[in-house]
Amino acid sequence: MTATTALRSEHDHILTMIACLRAACVAAENGDGFDAETFQTGLDFIQNYADAWHHAKEEEHLFPALEAAGMPRDGGPIAVMLQEHVMGRSYVRKIADHLEEASHRDAVARSTVLNYTRAYANLMTGHIQKENGILFNMADQILLPEDHTRLEQAYQNAIPSGATAETGAYYEGIVATLCQQWDVDPREAASVGANFQCG
Ligand SMILES: [Fe+2]
Ligand SMILES: [Fe+2]
């Protein structure tokens, strides 16, 4: 176990949710119906698990520990990761702002939800590939054994107020349910996270 073990596992769940959302986009685009419930569930997962749960651990604990170990905050991989978190939030706001109308058959709102869901899916897939393939490998090398132990404990502080360890299990359970609905293989979906190509 290192400071990135839990985060890599969370990436697997995020990528699996992304695969379910992509399947829901394909269904909607193919005329098989806009499954508002899947998009609502996906939005809840992205806001409360991917962002408030997972990104908070990176931003409040892992990235500061990497800075303390000598990695610059500006101009390096940390800056790129932070920028992508911000970009992801802006896409999610677009989805949130249009989902209600999209649920009521508004065609423009639906296409906005689909476009931003795809944009978020593409952004986060590349983001996770970079974290898994570059940043987390660097973290595993430069952090000291005591840093790993401290970070694993500190992640508890990043859990949003009102949430508990069961909240993580709850959201991971939601992903498992959507996998059944959309016929997504979680192992295949998560394997995308290991596909980082340099250059
Ligand atoms: Fe991240
Ligand atoms: Fe991440």
Please report where in the chains the tokens 């649920």 appear, as a residue: 103
What is the model's pLDDT at position 56?
A: 94
Residue 137's region, left for phi above 0, alpha for psi from -120 to 50, else beta, is alpha
Interval 160-186: pLDDT, tens = 888 887 889 999 999 999 999 999 999
Q: Which ligand is nearest to the CA of 10?
A: 2
1, 171 Cβ separation under 8 angstroms: no
Rounded distance from Cα 2 to ligand 1 centre (Å): 17
DSSP state of 117: H
Tokens of 11: 């990436």
Separation of 127 CA from ligand 1 center, angstroms? 7
Q: In angstroms, what CA-CA distances link 82 with 1, 60, 101? A: 24, 11, 31
Ligand 2 center to 86 CA (angstroms): 13
Structure tokens at 139: 């973290």
pTM over 0.75: yes
CATH class for the region spanning 5-191: mainly alpha
Report CA(104)–ligand 1 centroid distance (Å).
33
Ligand positioned closest to the Cα atom of 59:
1
Ligand nearest to the CA of 128: 2
Closest CA to 2 of 190, 97, 142, 162: 142
Q: How far apart are CA 180 and CA 186, in angstroms?
A: 10
User: Ligand 1 mean position to 63 CA, how many Å?
Assistant: 9
Predicted confidence at residue 198, as pLDDT, reads 61
Ligand nearest to the CA of 8: 2
Over residues 148-167, the mean pLDDT reads 88
List the domain boundaries for the chain: 5-191
- Which ligand has its closest atom nearest to the C-alpha of 12? 2
> For 62-96, how does the pLDDT look when each residue is reduced to its tens digit (9 = 90+)?
999 999 999 988 888 999 999 999 999 999 999 99
Q: Give distance in angstroms: CA of 128 to centre of ligand 2.
A: 6
